[in-house]
Structure 1
Amino acid sequence: MENNPIIVFGEVLFDHFPNGERVMGGAPFNVAWHTQAFGQTPLFISRVGPDATGSLIRAAMRLWGMNLDFLQQGSIYQTGRVQVTIECGEPSYSILPDQAYDHIQMQGLAGIKHTGILYHGTLATRSPVSRNTLISLKKLHQGRIFIDVNLRQPWWNKSDVLNLIKDADWIKVNLRELQALQDNMADIQTNMEKFLFQYNLEGIIVTCAEKGALALNKAGEFFSVVPTTSVDVIDTVGAGDAFSAILLLGLNLGWPLGQTMERAQAFASAMTGQRGATVNDLNFYKPFLTF
């Protein structure tokens, strides 16, 4: 199934839930985890600390068959941690400052095959060290850049995010994020068109929670998908990351955008029936390997 390499840059952490449960997460990590299960070999670039949770992440990646060559380990900063609370069915995040993923180094990354797709979010760019590393990677990259916007208070500002989008080919935002990044909101499709042409994008995806998702590409194709109603929702943590993983798969394998959106929505809906953003049972993925 693999075509060009998928390079995934950003945070890896543990989501801590109110019931005491903890689940590996971080949007880039979740995306890398899913694409691995779907037959790709993502190059995951991040950093963990000299602690037990960092060791757990490395062990889990090894068991999952993931490439660990670019998962850095520091000696000072701790592995990322986020406290998750569920309010009215939606996750809320308390993100600690100065975590290991804020200190991703460029050392050892120049030799990566810089083609295919480079995926990154926005959280790991909050720190100058990781942000400068990403800038260096983008200068070397010769393929597409896919930005998964995640606006987490207080760790973002509008001008920085818009500067990142200037380098992008594809972006994914949710409806609230699209509103936060635009000065004047008309109807959603019109605003997607304005965003696409303003930043010369190949495509823009807008997720709308329980209402599904919308896509527009530079060819003018517009698609709308809605979630399945057959899943008993446990939580929506990581549903957007599941959506992103299928988007990357579709872009990498050349699927039509409409087909990619349908498959992404199906997988994201299935993920809402799971606790947390990752699943370490390959049987969960099997129904989605026969698209």
Structure 2
Amino acid sequence: MADAPDVVFGEVLFDRFPDAREVLGGAPFNVAWNLHQLGEPVLFVGGVGNDAAGARVRKAMREVGLAEDALYTHPQAPTGAVQVTVEDGEPAYYILPDQAYDDLPATVDPAVPARTPLLYHGTLALRSGNRELLAALRRRCERRFVDANLREPWYDPQDVRDLLRGADVVKLNADELATLFPNVPAEKRAERCLQACDIQSALIVTLGADGAEIHPRAGQPVRARAPVVEGMQDAVGAGDAFASVAILGLRRGWGWEGTLHRALEFAARVCTLQGATTTDPGFYRSAVAAWT
């Protein structure tokens, strides 16, 4: 299993801005990109359209050496897109329906190994289908990491709780935790989530600029504040950066406290980028060097 890749399943899409900019992203795609650039074997399972945007996704993957073997080309649906608008100075996001990542083949791609150390997924790519594929991928994984990444209006709280059930690690932000357990006092929500969703190893709760906390199934919670970001650009992809390093910590046995600090540090580094990722390998090398 040492050489088998982690499997990251979910959406890849472009954020489209009013000034005609298009930024490649999607939480699972960002996680796959980060893991690859940080030296972790990874296979991304997702879909693009038979269109120019899909060709751009493949080109970006090839340029950094990220395997595209399990990237499906949908014959009709377009490559995923999110329309970004600005309302009263604040960005608003409209996630387009019926995208290529919504309709993947139910059978597992031959590129996916029979056994994989870890499966990562969120919820958006499950909004209208892909459940048979998820079930098949789950049967192949040793451990499962779920990062909810709730996106209005594309989720139902009960369905999300069901998707979290039995995962090894779950990552939520504080607002998502409150959404899933609205009638539970704030100080009891993490414990309730661990129990109600039968989380096997730990619940991670991110708190934005206040840092994050990890609630192990066994043992005391660990908490840390986020480091100060020098050269702040934006927080796009910070949560995905945190999840990427949390996966590394789980794979490499760093322990919860070491994982927490390294994940917060890498998330802060990503805040110095414009967007969630970069093609600069030096950015990732410097992060790895800081850990060793």
Match of 1:224 in 2: 223
Amino acid at match of 1:231: E
* Contact in 2 for aligned 1:8/1:119 (Cα 8 Å): yes
Match of 1:52 in 2: 52
Does the residue aligned with 2:233 lie in a helix, a strand or coil? coil
What is the TM-score normalised by the length of structure 2? 0.92
Deviation at 1:220, TM superposition (A): 1.7
* Contact in 2 for aligned 1:90/1:236 (Cα 8 Å): no
Does the residue aligned with 2:116 lie in a helix, a strand or coil? coil
Match of 2:84 in 1: 84
- Looking at both structures, which has the greater relative contact order when contacts are Cα pairs under 8 Å and sequence separation is at least 6? 1
Q: For residues 156-175 of structure 1, what are the structure 2 equivalents within 5 Å?
A: 156-175=155-174
Match of 2:116 in 1: 115
Of 197, 208, 213, the match for 2:195:
197
**Matched residues, number:** 287
Larger deviation, residues 253-262 vs 84-93 = 84-93
Cα distance in 2 for residues equivalent to 1:246 and 1:29? 14
Which sections of structure 1, spanning at least 5 residues, go unmatched?
Answer: none
Cα distance in 2 for residues equivalent to 1:64 and 1:55? 15
Larger deviation, residues 163-172 vs 259-268 = 163-172
Match of 2:180 in 1: 181
Deviation at 1:85, TM superposition (A): 4.8
* Contact in 2 for aligned 1:3/1:253 (Cα 8 Å): no
Does the residue aligned with 1:278 lie in a helix, a strand or coil? coil
What is the TM-score normalised by the length of structure 1? 0.92
Larger deviation, residues 243-252 vs 230-239 = 230-239
* Contact in 2 for aligned 1:239/1:272 (Cα 8 Å): yes
Match of 1:214 in 2: 213
Query: Which string of whole-angstrom CA distances, capped at 9 and with x for unpartnered residues, describes residues 29-76 of structure 1?
Result: 000000000111211000000111100110111111111110011110
Give me the CA root mean square deviation.
Answer: 1.9
Does the residue aligned with 1:104 lie in a helix, a strand or coil? coil
Amino acid at match of 2:135: I
* Contact in 2 for aligned 1:3/1:252 (Cα 8 Å): no
Query: Which string of whole-angstrom CA distances, capped at 9 and with x for unpartnered residues, describes residues 176-205 of structure 1?
Result: 1000000323233x3212211222211000
* Identity across matched positions, percent: 42
Cα distance in 2 for residues equivalent to 1:151 and 1:72? 24
